[in-house]
Amino acid sequence: MSVTKLTSATQDYLKAIWSLGEWSADGVTVTALAERLGVRTSSASDGVKKLVANGFAEHTPYANVELTDLGRAHAVSMVRRHRLMETYLVREFGYGWDEVHEEAEVLEHAVSDRLLDAIDARLGHPTRDPHGDPIPSAAGAPHLPDAVPLSSVVIGDTVVVARISDADPERLRIFAAQGLVLDSEVDVVMHSDSTCAMQVEVSGRLLNLSAQDADSVWVVRA
């Protein structure tokens, strides 16, 4: 579905709402949406009202924001654009996985549907972006892996990294230097119930992870 006729602001709101609910069972609040977009809560509230008025979302005061079928279709299309552009920048231009988000934020609004399809074909129709987030197909079908946060894994388990949140570029740089990247095998050595901190082994190296670190890594069973 083409989203090029929508305003950039509408595209950003739809993508943010869908992305916030992709890896979390928690509902999407206006406050969370404002934080994701870096705007005031009042601005996010006004943005949601416009989405509702145009049939893209449903929302009542103090409740979660829900996308309609139309809004979800446009949102998934925007997510596809963003993640394909991130993948293209890494594979074709040598960008680091910590450098692509802002570039993709700009390019996703400018690329035509025809060029996007050509990029998809050149890349071999990838199903995930450089951070492990699934790239929806041209038909809008996502490929969400059966993954769980690393913080939920118990001592002695061996898991494989399926996705790492791109919310913090500095964390991505640190993880890359430590060898904690997509498809790396992780053994859980220590898990503190009181602080939720973890110690894991990756490629023979022991790493100490904070609760925030562990929550940003999603894994599947080895």
In tens, the pLDDT along 178-201 reads 999 999 999 999 987 767 689 999
Q: What is the pLDDT of residues 69-101, one digit of tens each?
A: 999 999 999 999 999 999 999 999 999 999 999
Q: Please say whether the structural domain 148-221 has been given the CATH code 1.10.630.10.
A: no
The pLDDT value given to residue 4: 56
| Model confidence band, residue 2 (pLDDT cutoffs 50, 70, 90) | low
- pLDDT at residue 65 in the model: 97
Domain ranges across the chain: 1-144, 148-221
What integer pLDDT is reported at residue 138 of this predicted model? 79
**What's the 3-state SS for the chain?**
CCCCCCCHHHHHHHHHHHHHHHCCCCCECHHHHHHHHCCCHHHHHHHHHHHHHCCCEECCCCCCEEECHHHHHHHHHHHHHHHHHHHHHHHHHCCCCCCHHHHHHHHHHHCCHHHHHHHHHHCCCCCECCCCCECCCCCCCCCCCCCEEHHHCCCCCEEEEEEECCCCHHHHHHHHHHCCCCCCEEEEEEECCCCCCEEEEECCEEEEECHHHHHCEEEEEC
Domain 1-144 CATH assignment equals 1.10.3210.10:
no
